[in-house]
Amino acid sequence: MTNSTATASARRQDIFAAIEQFESAYDYDASYMRDLYERSPAAFGLFDAARRMAAYFDALPAAAHFVAAITVMQHEDCGPCLRLNEKLAMEAGVRREVLDALAAEPAALPAELQDVRSYTTGVLSGQVDEAVAARIESQWGPAALAELAIGIVGARMYPTIKRALLKAGACELPRVS
């Protein structure tokens, strides 16, 4: 075994161990990540960089970030990704009442989170309301709108890559948790 082969093998083991740890921690099937790595470690590296992009928020409050991510999962009909984002939202300090309202009665969300949901659904349908975008930017600043944009794109990546890798069986219709 050459040194580069040993290094590649060790890297694969580390990545797969991290994926398994993630699956265990969140009760989430991430087999599509292993499949992507097996097909192309370079493509996996780019996906991994995009995962960091998708999870980024600083100016945007956690509740707004996760309202957008969960709205994407509702739109994409990906139950496991939706439940994963609910767990991540709780870890980030998003109140259960916000998640319950998002699942059952979005009109009960606070006005600024209704705007995030409306903006997200507008982006997903190609019907962005500039007044809603302006309210979001006014509420949290231009950086927050930029973070919301990459969060929406990043969240949509997960169900899309599952489908593109023929792993849509890992998706199922969302259910209220």
pLDDT tens string 132-158: 999 999 999 999 999 999 999 999 999
Share of the chain above pLDDT 70, in %: 94
Do 85 and 124 have their domain in common?
yes
Q: How many domains does the chain have?
A: 2
Q: Is residue 136 part of a domain?
A: yes
Range of the domain at 8: 3-54
Taking the alpha carbons at both ends of the chain, their separation in whole angstroms is 48
Of 28, 54, 80, the position where a domain reaches its end is: 54
- The per-residue pLDDT for range 94-127, each reduced to its tens digit, is 999 999 999 999 999 999 999 999 999 999 999 9
- DSSP letter assigned to residue 61: -
Could you give the angle at the alpha carbon of 69 between the alpha carbons of 68 and 75, nearest 5°? 90
The reported pTM is 0.90
Q: Is residue 173 part of a domain?
A: no
